[in-house]
Structure 1
């Protein structure tokens, strides 16, 4: 019963949680952690859950033949939205500039809603649109502490490079495993990301070299279990966090 409720209320996209948490944790640890970071991460995760259910409501409302299919997302969307309001208001009162950051994320959320409505959530553009605000949490979390723009732009760029690369790579492992075009696009992207990483930091170059290697090797191994693909990404995401904090802290 509990597992059924959790499946209904929590998204099954496990890879999204690393993208939601790693940039936030990096930003928090690059600055001075404070109780406000706990409020921020709660609001961030609850906001993500509210947006997820709203997008699923849009998708099913337009595309499902069952007129009641969308209604199962109504209550979760309402509950998570209500849960977002108190911490959201408290954060804006504490740091009014956070409202500007939230407004800046709205165009990307609108793109995600559009693709959900079109039933094209697996689109490459939709995935990349989700990466930007997630990585934007790094400077937000850092500036909520005592971080500065000069300190955070490099780790933010590194996060963008890494998580943007996961979008075409994962497609080469699942939905586009037979597409030569996607494989080449993924390989070329990771090669370019490695060049940028070399400029940013030797330690990042090692990590992005590993990312390039997995982007080249994993798709040619044949069918790899999704659990294995996810486990590799968890390890690389945590490795990114482990590199960013000491290098830029």
Structure 2
């Protein structure tokens, strides 16, 4: 998830209008929308819909807006301009949080994991390290993990009784909904596999964007991006060979590997200029391809 730009200095002109994004109300890192809403939606689709998903979905959406407002507030050194959206979204999250827990109290089982991610992220933002790979990795993990939460909610919190497991796993895989294209991977195994695929894809977008925009002259970032995507493609190959996912997903990850090299290298050696809009459109297409390929042989 890309962090917002550092706010420009206020000119103090009373007649100057600011956009909702500039005032901290609407997130301006548009590339994060898919990461925020695709995993949670897939968790509902795979696990099955229950009424408690409604307040939780709203809580997650408003929480995303709150995260944006808090980031703007911290980056701007607690400038009063951003205090109003922070207060509004925190209050909204509190109300929706109460409704969500009233609908499904067992969601508290996930609270420790998200508390760790949220606290770590806030610390990084306060230290003005919100653009580091560590910060990006944490936010991507949180975005993907919420898919498992909605799956857990949809399947009625059916978990293994093995207490040492830090994450839920069902002992009878066929008992829970959700399966891959061949029905060889079912239940929690399938949900965690979907989460892993989404984690590899969404985290991979971080170095790609960096190598095209802020770190376009950085060779280490370019090498990291290509190596990461090569490893992700290798995982997709092994997964296809084992029958966990199909060859369609492997083909998509090969295309992602090619994309990780094509954009930055053509900028370096051919002088091409890739706009953020072009990269964003490309990622929308790849997001759709990854999701569709999950269920293809």
| TM-score, normalised relative to structure 1 | 0.89
In structure 2, the partner of 1:218 is 263
The size of the alignment, in residue pairs, is 240
1:2–1:83 CA distance, 2 compared to 1 (3 A): farther
Residue matched to 1:241: 291
Q: What residue number does 1:54 align with? A: 70
Question: Highest CA radius of gyration, 1 or 2?
Answer: 2
User: Structure 2: any 5+ residue segments left out of the alignment?
Assistant: 1-15, 156-176, 178-186, 240-244, 268-272
Q: What corresponds to 2:82 in structure 1? A: 73
Q: Single out whichever of 12-21 and 218-227 deviates more from structure 2.
A: 218-227
What is the alpha-carbon distance in structure 1 between the residues aligned to residue 26 and residue 104 of structure 2? 29
Tell me the secondary structure at the aligned position of residue 129 of structure 2: coil
1:174 alignment partner in structure 2: 213
Question: Structure 2 residue aligned with 1:22, among 31, 38, 47?
Answer: 38
2:46 & 2:286 partners in 1: Cα distance?
A: 19
Checking the alignment, whether the CA contact within 8 Å between 1:56 and 1:116 is kept in structure 2 is: no
Counterparts of 1:2 and 1:199 in 2: how far apart (Å)?
54
Counterparts of residues 143-222 of structure 1 (less than 5 Å): 143-146=152-155, 147=177, 148-200=187-239, 201=245, 202-222=247-267
User: RMSD between aligned alpha carbons?
Assistant: 2.1
Q: Following the alignment from structure 1 to structure 2, what is the Cα–Cα distance between the partners of residues 51 and 100? A: 22
1:35 aligns with 2:85: no
Whole-angstrom CA distance in 2 between matches of 1:2 and 1:136? 38
Higher mean alpha-carbon deviation, 146-155 vs 9-18, is at: 146-155
Quote the residue 1:65 is aligned against: none
Tell me the equivalent position of 1:66. Answer: none
Check conservation: 1:59, 1:118, Cα contact below 8 A. no
Measured against aligned partners, the alpha-carbon deviations of 1:79-136 in whole angstroms (never above 9, x if no partner) come to 1111112321222233223123233112222222222212222111111111111000
> Where does residue 140 of structure 1 map in the other structure?
149
Counterpart CA distance in 2 for 1:51 and 1:226 is 22
- How far did residue 176 of structure 1 move? 0.7
Unmatched 5+ stretches in structure 1: 62-68
Match of 1:231 in 2: 281
Structure 2 counterparts to residues 90-109 of structure 1, below 5 A: 90-109=99-118
Counterpart of 1:127 in structure 2 is 136
Distance 1:2 1:102, change over 3 A: farther
What TM-score do you get using the length of structure 2 for normalisation?
Answer: 0.75
- Secondary structure at the residue paired with 1:166? helix
Q: Which moved more, 1:110-119 or 1:8-17?
A: 110-119
Secondary structure of residue in 1 paired with 2:97: helix
Q: CA deviation at 1:212?
A: 0.6
Report the Cα distance in structure 2 between the residues aligned to 1:209 and 1:142, rounded to whole angstroms. Answer: 29
